[in-house]
Structure 1
Amino acid sequence: MLGVLAGPLHAADTVLPDKPVGVALLRSATVQGNIVTASVLAPTRSLRPQRRIDRLPATRWQDVNKGPTWSRAALSALSAHAEPLARTVPQDVVDWCPGYASASLADRRAFWVGFLSALAKHESTYRPEAVGGGGRWYGLLQILPATARGYGCKARTGAALMNGAANLSCGLRIMTRTVRRDGVISRGMRGVAADWGPFHSAAKRRDMATWLRRQSYCKSVPYVRPVARPVDLASN
C-alpha cells in the first residue's frame, strides 16, 4: 500500500506539534522534491486462514488411513443424537473407564470414541467393507441392516453400512438406546453387550477394557484434601 505525504519529512522551519503524533511504520520511503512516497510495512503475520489443528482422542484405529475421519464422525454424533450417551453414567463404567463419572463431557466423548475403536478391532479389524455372518452383518461394527432400520439409523442397507462414518453413527445410536435402557455397558450381557458378540468373550472384554483404562481420558483425578489454615493465620 502506498501513501503520499505533502511536504518534506524535515525542513529547517518545521514546527513540531505539541503532542505526539502516531505514524505508520514504513518499509521504505523515497523523496522527490517536497513529495515523499512511502510503503507501509507489511503485516508480519499471514492473513490467510490458519489450518485447524485437530485434537482427536487416542484410538486403536488412529494409525489406520481413515482413522481420524472415523474419530471426527463419532465425535460429531456424540455432540448430536448420541449426546445423551455421553451424559449417562453406566453402573459398570468403572470396569471400563475409572475416571468417567468425574470426567468432563469432552473426556466422556473421547472414551466412547476409544470404545468404538476397541470394539471395531474385534468386529472387523478396522475394515469398513467387512461382511460377516454369511452376508448378514456389515461394516466396522458389523451391524445387521434390520437392526439399523429398527433403531432408526440413516444407514439402513448393507451398502450404506459399509461407509465407516455412517456405521459408527448408527452404532452410537444403538448404544445410546441400550445403555440408557439397561444402565450398564456390558454387565449381565446387557447394554452394548446385548447387540455385540465380542462382549461374550472374557478375553475380548479384558482386551478392550485394559486398553481403555490406560488412556488419559479414563484416568481418575486424585482428590486432594484442602489443608487447614493455622489458627493464627485464619484469625487475621
Structure 2
Amino acid sequence: MGGVLPEGVTPAVPRVTRLRPRARPATLPRTRWESVPGSTIWTRAAISALKAHGRPLLEFVPRDIETWCPSYAAHPVEKRAEFWVGFLSALAKHESTYRAHAVGGGGRWHGLLQITPSTARLYGCRARSGAALLHGPTNLSCAIRIMTKTVRRDGVVGANGKGGVAADWGPMVYRKKRADIAAYTRRQSYCRPLSTMRPKPRPTKS
C-alpha cells in the first residue's frame, strides 16, 4: 500500500510533449497595400510568382529602371523581387484601390490589377475567366506573367507612358500616376542607392 507498486511492475513514465516553436515569418517587403486585411497573402503570392515564371523579369534590367528603382541593377534577383511587389502594390492603388473583387469597365476588367479575361488568355495565364481573376494571388500571378513578357519585349517599365507595363495598364499612361508610383518605389529600402544603406563608421577615439 501507500504507493508501493507490486514486484515486477515498472512505474509509468509520463510522456513529455515538446512543443516546437512556431516558425517566424520571413521579412516581407514594404507594400502600399500592407494595411489591407489579407494583403500578406498577396505579397507572398507575388514573390512566389516572381521567383517562378517571373524569374526572367528579375534577371532583366529595363532601360528606364533608374526612374523607378535606382539601385535595381546592383541588387540580386531576390532583392529585385521586392521592387516588383512594391510596384504591383502601387499600381493596384490606381487600378482597384486594393479591392481584389473590383470589376470595372462595364464588367470587362477584373481584380486587383484590373485584367480582362481576353488579355489573361492571350498571355497564357492560368486564370481565364473574370471570376478567376477576382482571386488576388491568381490575379497577381497573371499580371507578373504579362509584365515578364512586355517589359522584356519593349525593354522598359514604361517611364514615358509607352511600352512595357504601360502597354496594358492605363494608369501608366498618365504622367501624374506614373510619378506617384515611382515616388513610392524609389523611397523604399529596396530601391535606395546601396551607399545610403551602409552603416556609418564609428568615430575613432583620439
Normalised TM-score (structure 2): 0.84
Deviation at 1:50? 2.6
Report the alpha carbon displacement of residue 54 of structure 1 after superposing the two structures with TM. Answer: 2.5
> How far does residue 103 in structure 1 lie from its aligned partner after superposition?
1.1
Higher mean C-alpha displacement, 48-57 vs 207-216:
48-57
Percent identical = 58
Give the match for residue 188 of structure 2: 215
Among 166, 170, 193, the alignment partner of 2:166 is 193
For residues 85-120 of structure 1, give each alpha carbon's deviation from its aligned partner in whole angstroms, at most 9, with x where no partner exists.
111100000000000000122210000000000000
Distance 1:156 1:131 in 2: 15
Aligned to 1:132: 104
**Secondary structure, in 3 states, of the residue corresponding to 1:216?**
coil
The answer to whether the 8 Å contact 2:64/2:156 transfers is yes
Q: TM-score, normalised by structure 1?
A: 0.74
- Corresponding residue for residue 204 of structure 1: 177
Moved over 4 A (4+): none
- How far residue 47 of structure 1 moved from its aligned partner, in angstroms, is 4.5
Aligned-partner SS, 1:218: coil
Q: Structure 2: how far apart are the matches of 1:55 and 1:66?
A: 16
In structure 1, C-alpha distance between the alignment counterparts of 2:159 and 2:188, rounded to whole Å: 21
* CA displacement 1:19-70 (0-9 Å, x = unmatched): xxxxxxxxxxxxxxxxxx9x9xx89xx5415323221100001111011000
Q: RMSD of the alignment, in Å?
A: 1.9
Q: Which has the higher helix share?
A: 2
Asked if 1 retains the 8 angstrom alpha-carbon contact of 2:71 and 2:194, the reply is: yes
State the Cα distance separating 1:80 from its structure 2 match.
Answer: 0.5
Number of residue pairs matched by the alignment = 183
Structure 2 equivalent of residue 107 of structure 1: 79
Higher relative contact order (CA 8 A, sep 6+): 2
2:147 to 175, 192, 196: 175
- Which residue of 39, 63, 67 maps to 1:91? 63
Structure 2 SS opposite 1:101: helix
Structure 1: which 5+ residue stretches go unaligned? Answer: 1-36, 225-236
Question: Higher strand fraction: Structure 1 or Structure 2?
Answer: 1
AA partner of residue 68 (structure 1)? T
Counterpart secondary structure, 2:72: coil
| Aligned-partner Cα distance in 1 for 2:170–2:71 | 26
1:149-192 CA-to-partner distances (Å, cap 9, x unmatched) read 00000001000000000000000000000001011000441001
| CA radius of gyration, larger in | 1
